[in-house]
A and B are shown apart, each in its own frame.
Chain A
Amino acid sequence: MSAAEIRVPIESDQDIVSARQAGRTLAIEFGLSGVDATFIATAISELARNILAYARKGEIMLRAIHGSGRRGILVVASDRGPGIRDIQQALRDGFSTSGSLGLGLPGVRRLMDEFEIESRPGRGTTVSVKKWKQ
């Protein structure tokens, strides 16, 4: 049982803005609070930024979801970039390989309720995060 999906291609800095606006709008429409919508929009901004910084292009997929009587928002950021060699390291605070920008994965994890990452060197990275209505 899932509502419509929104897919935002990420290829430029303007797409980061489009993706996070789409996320905020979907969250508000689905009844999440302003704080949650801001958390979701901020997480999308960082995930889209990682796509641009490391893979140059990719996609943000957004979907309103239901699960055990709750409603929430699923965000999937995917790319076919170089992948992350050491995921454990990438999940530690303060780690970034592209200067001070990008890969704020520990922060994204704190903003959201559920966090999953799959990455294969040379194949790409997929980060799936969920925020449930409080």
Chain B
Amino acid sequence: MTDAGYAYFSISDLAPSIESGEISPVALVQTTLDRIAAHNDTLCAYITVMTESALDEAHQAERQIAGGNYLGPLHGVPLAAKDLFATAGVRTTFGSPLYADWVPDHDAAAVERLRAAGAVIVGKTNLHELAYGGTSGNPHFGAVRNAFDPACHPGGSSGGSATAVAGGLAFGALGSDTGASIRQPAACCGIVGLKPTFGLVSKFGALPLCWTMDHVGPMTRTVADAAAMLQVLAGYDERDETSAERPVPDYGDGVNRGAGGVRIALVREFFFADCDAEISAAVEAAGAVFEGLGARVEEATIPDVEVSYAAGTIIMGSEGAAMHGADLRQRPELFSDEVRGLLTIGGLYPAADYVQAQRFRKTFAAAVEELFTHCDALIMPTSPVPATPIDDSPPEHGPLRYRNTVPFDVSGHPAISLPCGFTAKGLPIGLQIVGRAFGEAELLAIAAAYEGATDWHERHPKF
């Protein structure tokens, strides 16, 4: 992109200049809106652009900061929200005609918290229909395109958020992740995506695909920015039945700690099967980077990891069918063939298998946590396959796009994807790092150490 200006600055780089008054939130928001106006027709990243309210919020932020009431690193920063987070007075479509006219009277908890921290929400990002799919090829609101190659998909389901952040149309965004939907699009778009521990971030006001596996998290261009967003998003919310009541640590505390002495487990079994050769090589190279940083890298296996893929698929399908079953019966024409097929399959899983899949989760989560008595983090490819052309996406990629990520939606462990290379065709590759339950501070520190030793995150789309 040639009109980038501040567009690719990190939140952490911008914040001191916003606090000092050197950078105006109004100018920053206007620049972001200008970039959206210039590039959204190509990228299809946003469903709704909130021009008027964004400028109002920017003026308010500018007044507060000038008056000495600086709220922190998100104050005055233009962010985006996936269009399944309720926004008061602004339609929230879920990427589906079913919700095309739904205008909530409240903000989702995640939006509420970002606004309370002074962030400016510039728009609602496009997504895979009903957040159920990995390409964001939305037939109702347009196929989202990858900022690194607009002929290719950006991953999904939070594809609009990933493209907006990668393309400099927002400085960070909210995503949701049930099987892959924060991490896989982050990998496809060369950005950072963090799926926090289940229960750490409130899901209140986020339209559900799967009540027991949905997670809310940040999508940013750097690990430090993910830490800054998580700092605001994390914490107990009594409106979310699954919310965890526990103290929130300082997530930015360890981002300069390094990785010396850290024990990394490279998990080849299952996660490297059917993996694109360039992706395997990039993740193996990431292991070598950690060794160069003084970490100890060993191989590990995860017991019953293939069953976790099955359990996740059954739970997602069954709960998706429960969530949308009535509409599927009464208004089937409002679903795409693809999502109608997925939900129909979901309705075929026997109840007994759904119950067994939920029972499996308890033992699997314990087995994953047990691994952390021997190591501090697990690493593997985020996705075994890269983004592919929208018009020529291999059908066999469907089950692979969420294969490496869904185990940690099943177990609930925190997992982050960050850029670790590019294919020969110039498409990003993602490294997934998994940490202890509620161990986001340590996970972010390990991810930041890798990021600090590489320059993948400094490569931005050019068009």
Q: Do A and B bind each other?
A: no
Q: Which residues of B come within 8 Å of A, CB atoms?
A: none
